[in-house]
Structure 1
Amino acid sequence: MILAAATLGQRELVRFFRQKNRVIGALAPPLIFWLLLGMGFSGSFRHEGSLSYLQYFFPGTVVMVVLFAAIFSTISIIEDRKEGFLQSVLVSPAPRASIALGKIWGGSAIAFLHAVFFLLLSPWIGAHLTPAGALYGAAILAGISFGLTALGFLIAWRMDSTQGFHSVMNLFLMPLWFLSGAVFPVATAPAWLKGLMMANPLTYGVEALRSALFPPAAPSAASPVLCLSIILAFAAVMFILSVFVCARQEAP
């Protein structure tokens, strides 16, 4: 099982490094969005701490980078189906769980690398990342990357076209991101919206990243252990559902 998953994951990484334009496609839109929105709202934004809007919006933009990378990486499932590769994997003796694990592991590794590239900007906006904060932030990012890639796998598995996949992903993931506290604080949201945001697992990921990057100015409202537990639970649930839909697929 492990060998099959590692082989599929390695295939995703090799495909990624051969398609350099995917890096630009996943990094450029969030970067532009962060700069334009961050500078546009900088004069009117007020935070309980001392964060500027560029600083406040930065962790949410990192999660957006992961989201874009997860979308791009799980498109390969649709491409593999059209090329016949997925059918050959399904008839192989490899367990279905290893197929899901390999595709998700490879995609989440790519999403994690995208986030690390974007985090190289953090020193220029006054981030104070301690060694403990870096380890904690890496664990949060790994969980978010795995969970969002597994969600992308779950949606892409039943899709026949990339157009339909993009439509469904935008329908699910963009509201999930907007309701994560990335754009506006949970504390200032209306009561009904606050309930949706508190039920969103990404809210705890964004909150954890913000407290890791700006510990003096943005203490987390939720405990670090709670944030990490929710993110890991989200990743685990998405993976279990992915294995379930993969196991139900009949071999051609």
Structure 2
Amino acid sequence: MLARREWVRFFRQRNRVTAAVVQPLLFWLLFGTGLRGSFEGAGGQDFIQFFLPGTVALIVLFTAIFATISVIEDRREGFMQAVLVAPVGRWPVLAGKVIGGGAIAWVQAVFFLTLVYAFGTAPLSFSIFPLMLLLAVLALSMCGLGMIVAWPMDSTQGFHAIMMLGLMPMWLMSGAFFPVPAAGEESLAMGQTVLRWVMLANPLTYGLAEMRHLLYPAVDFAEGGFAPDSVTNWIVSVLFMVAMLSIAWYLMRGSKKADLVA
């Protein structure tokens, strides 16, 4: 019922569709077109192709943010208190919010990819099936992370501040906007070396690396530098999802704040 409520709320707030789909689409077209002539990736990719997985991840990220910020609104309106006193525990509450928000993020990402395949920006192949599964893993991970941020918050302003301070840099340093600096280059400056290690420690980097591989299976991305194998990408992505959901459940299970705040 909580997941269904997220869908009802989503269709009643049509501005969320505009913000979650149109804004990343504009980013993709503007940056992809503007930087197309100054970038060349592995296999002769231009920037509009390289930036495509980052755009999909941005759609998932925005949708997860909009879905989990409703926790703060529900607490303020008294709905969350009514849910938490039900004799079902905290796990179903978390599952309802995450599955509802994750499903919305997944559908929006699939809709965007449908347009991408329709216009021939990426080749259509059987890799679309593991790509759909990967999108589901990323959507659940981002919703779990959003719940971790939103649960202790008592104001939407604080949530947006954390989003701009943490979630957006996480997306930028995932290889979405620029590639991971290659190792072993003598000209690699100290700042680039630190940036490389930060990007390697970012679990979203591996999800985007696998998404890029599934979108363009014929391209050898190892020629362009950092390109982990698919097994590593899937292990890191799944472990990231499990960790985010586990931490969110721990916070909800151990905190009575939502029960007491009126």
Question: Residue 196 of structure 1 aligns with which residue?
Answer: 198
Equivalent residue for 2:246? 240
TM-score w.r.t. length of structure 1: 0.93
Query: For residue 248 of structure 2, what is the amino acid of its counterpart?
Result: S
Q: Distance in 1 between matches of 2:51 and 2:193?
A: 22
Q: String of CA shifts for 1:14-35, please: whole Å, max 9, x gaps.
A: 2112222211110111111111
Partner residue, 1:128: 123
Deviation (angstroms), 1:12: 1.0
SS in 2 for 1:155: helix
User: How well do the aligned residues superpose, as a CA RMSD in angstroms?
Assistant: 1.4
Instruction: Find 2:53's aligned residue among 48, 59, 66.
Output: 59
Deviation at residue 117 of structure 1 after TM alignment: 1.4
**Normalization by structure 2: what TM-score?**
0.89
Residue type of the partner of 1:98? P
Give CA-to-partner distance per residue, 1:123-147, whole Å, 9 cap, x none: 224312312x111111211111101
- CA distance in 1: counterparts of 2:57 and 2:120, whole angstroms: 17
Runs of 5+ in structure 1 lacking a partner?
A: 1-6
Unpaired runs of at least 5, structure 2: 183-187
Matches within 5 A, 1:217-228: 217-219=219-221, 221-228=227-234
Distance in 2 of aligned mates of 1:126 and 1:65: 17
Measure, in 2, the Cα distance between the counterparts of 1:161 and 1:57: 33
1:218 is displaced (CA, Å) by 4.7
Deviations 1:85-105 (A, max 9, x none): 100111111111111111111
Task: Show CA shifts across 1:162-216 (max 9, x none).
Answer: 1111111111111100111111111458222111111111111111111111111
Q: Tell me what 2:151 maps to.
A: 157
One-letter code of the match for 2:123? H
Q: Percent identity?
A: 45
Aligned letter for 1:135? F
Separation in structure 2 between the aligned mates of residue 219 and residue 138 of structure 1, nearest angstrom = 21
* Other-structure match for 1:208: 210
Separation in 2, partners of 1:36, 1:119? 18
Q: Map 1:1-252 to 2 at 5 A.
A: 7-123=1-117, 124-131=119-126, 133-188=127-182, 190-219=192-221, 221-250=227-256, 251-252=259-260
Instruction: Quote the Cα distance in structure 2 between the aligned partners of 1:138 and 1:225.
Output: 17
Q: Distance in 2 between matches of 1:218 and 1:206?
A: 15
Aligned equivalents of 2:76 and 2:253: distance in 1? Answer: 20
What's the CA shift for 1:113?
1.0
Number of matched pairs? 245
**DSSP 3-state at the match of 1:54:** helix
Structure 1 CA distance for aligned equivalents of residues 87 and 16 of structure 2: 32
Rounded Cα–Cα distance in structure 1 between residues aligned with 2:32 and 2:110: 20
Q: Which amino acid aligns with 1:163?
A: Q
Q: What's the secondary structure of 2:122's corresponding residue?
A: coil
Distance 1:141 1:171 in 2: 24
For residues 249 and 93 of structure 1, the distance between their equivalents in structure 2, rounded to whole angstroms, comes to 16
Secondary structure at the counterpart of residue 222 of structure 1: coil
1:4 corresponds in structure 2 to none
- Quote the Cα distance in structure 2 between the aligned partners of 1:67 and 1:125: 25
Q: For the residues of structure 1 that align with 2:43 and 2:142, how far apart are their CA atoms?
A: 29
